[in-house]
Amino acid sequence: MTDDTQTTEHATQAPAHAEYHPSAREYVRVGLILVALTCIEVYLSYSGLAGAKLIALLLTATVIKFLMVVGYFMHLKFDNGRFSRMFALGAIGALTLYAAVLLMFGVWGK
């Protein structure tokens, strides 16, 4: 009974929140940056660069692309923070768990 009352109170107090939606032009700009980053990645793979330097550069470009799609196209940058935390829970959880597995099996040493 108490829980019901609390839920109702919470629901009525839920604030309206304003969301910013980028314009089509901004989305096209983000799309062009993503294409440019992909071109850089492909160039790097043909550039003759090797080893840790190549991997670091490729992973950096990948992380930037990932964050741009999640932030702008999936709207997390402008949306309620709870959605970001929900997704981060899965993404960071998966990254931590599988990085530990790869470390355990010595994949980085290859």
Partner 1 sequence: MADITGVTVHEEHTSTGLSSTKLAMWLFLASECMLFGGLITAYMLYRGASLKGPYPEDVFDIGYTSVSSFVLLASSLTMVLAHNAALEKDYPRMRLWLTGTAMLGLTFVGGQVFEFTSFYREGLSLTTNMFGTTFYVLTGFHGVHVTVGVLMLMILVVMSWRSSLSDDPAFPVEMVGLYWHFVDIVWIVIFTLVYLIPTPQK
Long-range contacts of 18-24 (CB under 8 A, 24+ apart): 19/75, 19/78, 19/79, 20/78, 21/75, 21/78, 22/72, 22/78
C-alpha 8/C-alpha 6 separation (Å) is: 5
Residue with tokens 């043909």: 46
Q: Which of 5, 17, 47, 77 binds partner 1 (CB under 8 A)?
A: 17
Q: Minimum CB separation from partner 1 for residue 105, in Å?
A: 6
Q: Minimum CB separation from partner 1 for residue 101, in Å?
A: 6
Q: Is 40 in the site for partner 1 (CB under 8 A)?
A: no
Spell out the residues 6+ positions from residue 47 whose beta carbon is closer than 8 angstroms to its own: 54
In this complex, which beta carbon is closest to partner 1, that of residue 2 or of residue 23? 23
Q: Under the rule (CB under 8 A), what is the footprint of partner 1? A: 7, 10-11, 14-24, 27-28, 30-31, 34-35, 38, 41-42, 44-46, 50, 54-55, 58-59, 61-62, 65-66, 69-70, 72-75, 80, 82-83, 86-87, 89-91, 93-95, 97-98, 101-102, 105, 107, 110
